[in-house]
Amino acid sequence: DGGITQSPKYLFRKEGQNVTLSCEQNLNHDAMYWYRQDPGQGLRLIYYSQIVNDFQKGDIAEGYSVSREKKESFPLTVTSAQKNPTAFYLCASSIPFRAMNTEAFFGQGTRLTVV
């Protein structure tokens, strides 16, 4: 079945550590996104990528980094510079980036907790 796979489902990080969240899609979508979700807030865009080897900062990129070496994969690294990383992280993808009226498809999320 086509879809987006995020792993792990739960992740615990010690302060000062970098951690990487995995996102893989087999929908053949060009665009991929990372969102952060905090209680009582909507989703906020961290990074997005229109095409392989290209990505752009979203609204809250500080303390995060990404890569897009393959069309199917868009991993997110939460660095030690991110002061409040505990959150639910959602990866999404969509068909051609500049196409209008295109909805995004979401993975099941990764819950990151700093211990």
Residue pair 37/89 in contact by the 8 Å Cβ criterion: yes
Residue pair 11/35 in contact by the 8 Å Cβ criterion: no
Residue from 45, 52, 60, 61 touching another protein (CB under 8 A): that is 45
Q: Which pair of tokens denotes residue 9?
A: 């489902």
- Is residue 52 a contact residue for another protein (CB under 8 A)? no
- Is residue 87 a contact residue for another protein (CB under 8 A)? no
Residue from 27, 43, 52, 60 touching another protein (CB under 8 A): that is 43
Binding segment for another protein (CB under 8 A), chosen from 11-19, 39-47, 60-68, 79-87, is: 39-47
Binding footprint of another protein on the chain (CB under 8 A): 4, 6, 31, 33, 40-45, 50, 88, 90, 92, 94, 97-109, 111
